[in-house]
Amino acid sequence: MDQALYDHLGGRDAITAVVGGLYSRLLDDEEIAPAFAGIDMTRLRHHMTLFLSAALGSEAVYAGRDMATAHAGLQITDEMFDRTVAHLVAVLESVHVAPELIAQVLATIAPLRSEIVHGAAV
């Protein structure tokens, strides 16, 4: 992923704002919120900010767990994954990120589905 996408989105401050907006939507979504019960959200926001920054081409280093390990045991379904991605798109749209950049963000995240979704099979 090239640095251009991260810069286009507005760099670290923009990503921090997007992550804040994303988690407030996730916690307002009754299908999603239970997954976050008991989770330290300050730490999670920090990890997500670094993860997305690194995934979008910044030089930030993400040192958290890999996606399969981080989400193991949470019983995340395809529907929960889709809803989460839809919330992310809504946040990006709300800060007027261009559709072609949103498409690039989605292309970065889509391959993670198989690591994050565990259905009820744990």
Question: For binding to ligand HEM (CB under 6 A), which residues are involved?
Answer: 32, 35-36, 39, 44, 47-48, 51, 64-65, 70-71, 74, 76, 80-81, 84-85, 109, 112, 116
CB of 100 to ligand HEM, least distance (A): 20
CB of 65 to ligand HEM, least distance (A): 4
Q: Which is nearer to ligand HEM, 86 or 95 (CB)?
A: 86
CB of 24 to ligand HEM, least distance (A): 14
- Contacting residues for 35 by C-beta, under 8 A, at least 6 apart: 74, 76, 80
With beta carbons less than 8 A apart as the criterion, state whether 66 and 40 touch: no
Neighbours of 84 (CB within 10 A): 20
| Residue 81, both tokens | 């994954």
